Each structure stands twice: as C-alpha cells, then as structure tokens.
Amino acid sequence: MKCGDVLRALSETVSYALSAPVYATVLAWYMLWIRSRFNVLEWVVALIFLGVAPVTGVLAGVAKGKVDVFVSRRSDRPIYFVPAVASHAICGWVYAVLGDRLLAVFAFTYAVVTASILLVTFAEKVSVHVAGVAGPTTFMVLAFGLTYSVLYVLVPAVAFARLCLRAHTAKELTLGMLVAVVATAITWFALNVYVSNT
C-alpha cells in the first residue's frame, strides 16, 4: 500500500499511540479508575510492568543501533519478547499480592499472549501492534461485557497504519489479531476456572 506523507505521519502517530505497552497501561489505569482503586502503587505497577519494562530491551537495542523501534526484522524479534513476557508475569504476580484479581488476570493474560506471539514469530512475522490492541480489547469485552466491543474499531485503524507504513502484510496483521484473540480468550477462561476452584 502506498501512502502519502500525511497518511504516513498519521500512521506513525497511531503506531506509537496504540502500541502494546501504551494500550495496556491505559487500559490498566482505566480498570483501576472505574473500580475506584486509587492506590498509587497499583498505578505505578501498571506503568512500570506493562508500559516501561517490556520495551527497555528494545530501547537499548535502538540506542545501540541494533534494531529500529518497531523491531521490523522477524529474526531480531524473539530476544525482545522474553523481557516482556517476564515483565507481564511479574506484573500479574504483584497484582495478585496486592489483591487485585482482575488486573492480575489481565497481566497474566498479556504474558500468555506475548509468549504466544513469541512462539509464532519463530515461523512467521506477526503484527505485535494489532495483537496489542486485539488481545486487551478482547479482555475488556470478556471482563466488562459487549459494550466494550466498540474498542475493536481500533484494530482496523492500527492495521491500516501498519499497512501504510509497509511494516506488515495483511496475513501478518490477521495472524496477530487471531493469535491475540484466541490466546486471550483461552487464558481468560482458564484463569477464571482456576481462581474459582481455589
């Protein structure tokens, strides 16, 4: 897809604004806010373990000139997923300790989705941007109901942006969405069955 300068600039803005760490942090803060959980520690945990820590390896790689900020080459991607999976899992554990079951499940779900994307990446490049919107949106629908399905309008917006920037093919975008939605749904149901049986 060829895009002019204005569309490319808009696509870059969408790619940054709706990146997985930003979207995850915003949704976590939103879930804290709507449940009147104003413990500063819980807000900071989301920022650190969902927003900052998952991308520190990528930012270090960018600073060293090893990768671009979106880690465009598939062969470069696997090593950068490992800290993200660990950060999401730690986040889930911290929220469990703090007694926030919902955000613990959210973070553990994010860890499973990220690990699933990592595994698929060994065979095929996957859009982390689309996965990073489709997975958490699915979580919101499962946790709070169909009203939140309106957030799915962000998926085609992100997909268009990534196509416009020539970062992904339609297949890679679709694969990112499918892996994230399926992994989120399976994890959501498995964790809820586990929690209700303990």
Do residues 106 and 31 touch, judged by C-beta distance below 8 A?
A: yes
- Mean pLDDT, residues 137-158: 97
pTM for the model stands at 0.94
**In this predicted structure, what is the pLDDT of residue 197?**
66
The yes-or-no verdict on residue 195 having pLDDT over 70 is no
- Alpha-carbon distance of 33 to 72, in angstroms, equals 35
Q: Report the percent of the chain where pLDDT is more than 70.
A: 97
Predicted local distance difference test score (pLDDT) of residue 196: 66
* Cα–Cα nearest to 184, from 88, 90, 94, 47: 88
Average pLDDT, stretch 84-112? 97
192, two tokens: 């809820």
| Mean pLDDT score, 2-10 | 88
CA separation for the pair 98, 91 (Å, rounded): 10
Distance CA 164, CA 1 (A): 6
Give 193's pLDDT tier (boundaries 50, 70, 90): confident
The pLDDT assigned to 2 comes to 75
Question: Which pLDDT score is estimated for 192?
Answer: 83
The first and second tokens of residue 55, run together, are: 């991308």
pLDDT tens digits for range 179-189: 999 999 999 99
Q: Is the pLDDT of residue 194 over 90?
A: no
